[in-house]
Structure 1
Amino acid sequence: MPENVEANPVTSWNPESKHPEISETAYIHPQATVIGAVSIGEKVMVAPYASVRGDEGLDIRVDDHSNVQDAVILHGRQTIDQNGNPIKENQVEVDGENYSIYIGKRVSLAHQAQVHGPAIVFDNVFVGMQTFVYKATIGKNSVLEPKACVIGANVPENRYVPAGVVITSQEDADALPEIYEGYPFMHTNDEVVEVNVELADGYNQR
């Protein structure tokens, strides 16, 4: 296993050291870091200086055909206490499984975005440059424009958060505009996913 992909250390709250589980079709750049209780799906592209760190918040999942771009950070709050009990408020549940962070299929995490667990980003979402997601759920087919921020709220499906807007209540999240025909970023995620899947293939074939 390369030096930039390593197991988490044993700690007072986690007696188990885990190596990341990475699909053979995914690509992890040598200048990215993937640590601990992390699973990465098919044809995921993890770009330089990204950090996916499953050593405190457990587990982190990045599902098929998603991309983790340059300097993106995925990390979560402690999910197990010193007695080995789950800290429920720091976990999310998807399909009966508990995670610190769950990133769905065909998600783009653009440059310098941060997703801090507990958090879910469901399928086909574009998370723009320098955005921040924490204690939040982002619904399918949504767009977070650059420097948007979602804390403690659940963004419904097919909505967008305008650039620089900070969402900190469910009322504000529910009032977000729906993606409409002609919305400038309507097809951005499709284009970005296509590019990054091809990049993952290309890097792996070198």
Structure 2
Amino acid sequence: MRKKEKILLCMVVVTALLSILILSGFSDTNAGASEGPQNIRPNVIASFNAEVDTPEISPESFIDPQSAVIGNVHIGKGVYVAPFASVRGDEGQRIWVGDETNIQDGVILHALETEENGEVVEKNLMEVNGNKYAVYIGDHVSLAHQCQVHGPAVVGNHTFVGMQAFVFKARVGDNVVIEPAAKIIGVSIPDGRYVPAGEIIKTQDAADNLPEITDSYVFKDLNAGVLHVNEQLAEGYLKDSE
């Protein structure tokens, strides 16, 4: 074998070995980075957050890998969190999500700061059953695509929050339907009412005069159907991930 051919062969071998080493190192780095679900993680310390908290999630719930659950968050059993949903308990806290609730694609749960330099910001908290929360979502609630619940806020049991609806500084009762693109700001919605699509409710008088849900209301059973679908999605994706 000629000298030039030997040199060329050596260069090929060295290049191959270097490629193997680089790829091996890359794989190891990726393996280390993927230990534990990276989309479920603790908050960071800040002036409005003196402690590090990791989300509490029932093993009976499914959190899609393309969603984010951060910080002081409780997620009950049978919950489905869909792709691109964001549940951020890293500013206002805590965020509570009840049993068999669904958080659909693009939903945002977030809140104003509830602490500043060690002092509790009471105005940004709401009380439920003797405990205070930045955001409280009850049991059997459907949060439909791209809606936002921004604390301080409470959403009661068996309530449907429609696509692109917005709830802020508000308390929504049980068995309520908020139709798509409605805005609820600074009021309390009584139990068993519905908010028509696109309506903006900013006064308590407007909230108190919302129509009641009757047997003739077209979306009376909407939430039950949505819950049925999302409960099965949670169960199915959990089984698939085992």
Matching residue within 168, 171, 181 for 1:147: 181
Matching residue within 163, 169, 185 for 1:135: 169
Q: Tell me, what secondary structure is at the counterpart of 1:115?
A: strand
Alignment-derived partner of residue 2 in structure 1: 37
Matching residue within 141, 152, 158 for 1:107: 141
TM-score by length of 1: 0.98
Alignment-derived partner of residue 36 in structure 1: 71
1:128 is displaced (CA, Å) by 0.3
What is the correspondence of 1:1-206 to structure 2 with a 5 Å cutoff?
1-82=36-117, 84-206=118-240
Q: Tell me, what secondary structure is at the counterpart of 2:119?
A: coil
Give the partner amino acid of 2:122.
K
Structure 1: gaps of 5 or more residues: none
The structure whose residues are more often helix, as a share, is 2
Give the partner amino acid of 1:172.
A
Query: Partners in 2 of 1:89 and 1:54 — Cα distance?
Result: 17
Displaced runs of 4 or more, over 6 A: none
1:63 is displaced (CA, Å) by 0.3
Query: Partners in 2 of 1:113 and 1:20 — Cα distance?
Result: 21
TM-score by length of 2: 0.84
The aligned length equals: 205
Q: Tell me, what secondary structure is at the counterpart of 2:127?
A: strand
Query: Partners in 1 of 2:64 and 2:216 — Cα distance?
Result: 35
For each residue in 1:104-124, what CA deviation from the matched residue of structure 2 results, as whole angstroms up to 9, or x when unmatched? Answer: 000000000000000000000
1:88 is displaced (CA, Å) by 0.8
What is the aligned-residue RMSD (CA, Å)?
A: 0.6
Query: Partners in 2 of 1:108 and 1:133 — Cα distance?
Result: 13
Greater RCO structure (CA 8 Å; 6+ sep): 1
1:101 is displaced (CA, Å) by 0.2
